[in-house]
Chain A
Amino acid sequence: MWTYLLRRLGLALVLLWVVATVLFFSIHLLPGDPALLILGGDAAQASPEQILRVRARLGLDRPLLVQYGAWLGRVLRGDLGTSLIDERSVAGDLANRLPRTLQLVVPATLLAVGLGVPLGMFAARRRGRLADPAASAVALAGFSMPVFVVGMLLVFVFSLRLRWLPPTGYVPPAEDLAAFLRHLALPVIALAAAPLATVMRMTRSSFLEEASRDFVRTARAKGLEERIVAWRHVLRNALLPVTSIVGLQVGSMFAGAVLVEYIFSWPGINALLLNSLGTRDYPVIQGVVLLGSVLFVAVNLLTDLCYGLVNPRIRHG
């Protein structure tokens, strides 16, 4: 287990280094002068003073490898630079906003797993009856709908028509917990819809596969109740592949949060990114993409570790 853990951790660190490197060089790889790209890509719009200022601010006038080394060193110390617009610390802004993005992703994960697994199991146990194809069809539709379409439709139905929930906005939970939860409901449902469908489909197919194994027949043959066979024998084994799918889904939820934060004016890390697009605030954009990728890699690492933890074949292998 320890060698497995260390190997996975080492690999994750290497991947993070690759990510940081790709991200650093991407602005230099894009055709054109980086300073010009940051200022709007057109030489006519940016004055020579502006170009010189951006070059000096970002150290673009130094040799590329020196810039790269300095940047890596700063990133390792947690310094992501300051905004070109308002001089605020990017790392500080991200630290303030990260909890608000997690307030979306964590409940959405719980919802997707908490509903997806039982629904998938329900569909599998009603195989061949109406409930199964109906549930599968809903699931298929669920993960073909883009997250922003689900979000817009939720706003239309629950805010505009039924007037049950506010369409946009954010209230800190410390200020007013009830209001926080009411603002939280729609974004979380929008974010959880596609992962829920995926978890459900995976649980269903995995449950059906395990249910046809010999040990299940043995369990039935020795007279165990069907309920115990389903929960203790089939489900526990069926959840193995579901574990890894959940990890992937959490990763994609961080990506989906970009659109959800936009629709619901939710002030998370992605909203910071979207606010900075218009002004091409390079350090902020770079910082958000870096943090997003770190989260992505971290979630994948955690998934692998969880998988190793629940799967004895890997734990001992």
Chain B
Amino acid sequence: MADATTPGATPPPTAAPLTRAAASGSPAVPELVPTRPRRLWTRSRQVLLAGPIVGLLVVAAALAPFLSRADPNALNPRAKAQPPTFAHLLGTDEFGRDLLSRLLHGARITLIVGLSSVAVAAAAGTLLGSAAAYARGPVETGIMRVMDGLLCFPPILLGIFVVTFLGPSLRNLILVIAVLYVPRFTRVVHASTLAIRELEYVESARALGASAVRVVAGAILPNIVAPILVQASLAAGHAILLESGLSFLGLGPPPPTPSWGRMVEQSGRFMQLSVLPLLWPSAAISFTVLAFNLLGDGLRDLLDPRLRRGT
């Protein structure tokens, strides 16, 4: 789906071994293509739009206590379900709590869960995927079949199952989401590693007597960072959807910790009273997921011109 404005027709300069890998039908190995500044905008509009949103979100979450002085958990029976005022810029919820504060502190939970679960999943997946692709044989079969099995569980069901018996907490939420996303990273790393493990420079590293760990870490990993990054951004969007869904069902960090999913659930009960407390967290989740989706899509276009923007 190359846009008319996208110079997809001009193939970027690629190193010879990479062309060979692509020609042999193995999964493409992306690399950063030098791009002229004017083309940067047309080629990576999505990254340039979504990147700052994600950055802003991180800053807002980090500075939450300074951006909104009100205590996110302070009840105020005299200021229930108020429309936006100077004291409460986004209004208050049905218990009189400041919505801006709750939203900003909720961003912390969302980002901590989303980003750290993806980081754990990416690290584990990279380890398992490269081990599977480098070792081949029964190790590869074993790892990849277990990953196939894990992918058979509808994520939210497995999430509910584990969190119910481990108890709802931030740590458990991160762990279960991380486990659910390990298979994606394992598959991506496995495929990319298979594509480049037979290349000359990898072979030469082996011939020079480098150990397996050294070959994987020194020669292979630096070349598959791009697909891992793309996957990480897309997975972060999914992880945030899953986290908010579990929080919505009451399986997130226990109250009164403000989390967006729980805010939607609770204010939904009072939407007759005021709809604003429902709309803010709804919009926050949607825009955050949208930003990560755009970022992932854009990074894929930017880092790998051969992969077309599909779904």
Interface residues of chain A, those whose CB is within 8 Å of chain B, are 14-16, 18-19, 21-23, 26-27, 30-31, 37-38, 41, 128, 140-141, 143-149, 152-153, 155-156, 160, 198, 201-202, 204-205, 208-209, 241, 245, 251-252, 254-255, 258-259, 262-263, 273-274, 277, 280, 282, 285-286, 288-289, 292-293, 296-297, 300
Verify A30–B165 contact, CB threshold 8 A.
yes
Q: Pick from B153, B160, B282: contact of A19, CB below 8 A.
A: B153
Verify B158–A27 contact, CB threshold 8 A.
no
Expressed in whole angstroms, the minimum distance between the Cβ of A13 and any Cβ of chain B is 12
Verify B290–A140 contact, CB threshold 8 A.
yes
Interface residues of chain B, those whose CB is within 8 Å of chain A, are 1, 4, 145-146, 148-150, 152-158, 160-162, 164-167, 237, 241, 244-245, 248-251, 261, 264-265, 268, 271-272, 275, 278, 282, 285-287, 289-290, 293-294, 308-311
Verify B1–A209 contact, CB threshold 8 A.
yes
Verify B245–A146 contact, CB threshold 8 A.
yes
Q: Which residues of chain B are near A26, meaning CB under 8 Å? A: 161-162
Verify B290–A160 contact, CB threshold 8 A.
no
The A contact surface, by secondary structure, is helix
Expressed in whole angstroms, the minimum distance between the Cβ of A93 and any Cβ of chain B is 16
Given contacts A140-B290, A160-B271, contact A255 B165 (CB under 8 A): no
- Residue pairs across A and B with Cβ atoms less than 8 A apart, 26 shown, are A18-B148, A19-B152, A22-B149, A30-B165, A140-B290, A140-B293, A145-B286, A146-B241, A146-B289, A148-B261, A149-B282, A156-B275, A160-B272, A205-B309, A255-B157, A258-B156, A258-B249, A259-B156, A259-B249, A274-B249, A277-B164, A277-B251, A280-B164, A286-B161, A289-B158, A293-B153
Verify A292–B245 contact, CB threshold 8 A.
no
In the complex, which residue of chain B has the Cβ closest to the Cβ of A300? Answer: B152
Verify A148–B153 contact, CB threshold 8 A.
no
Expressed in whole angstroms, the minimum distance between the Cβ of B210 and any Cβ of chain A is 35
Verify A208–B1 contact, CB threshold 8 A.
yes
Expressed in whole angstroms, the minimum distance between the Cβ of B244 and any Cβ of chain A is 6
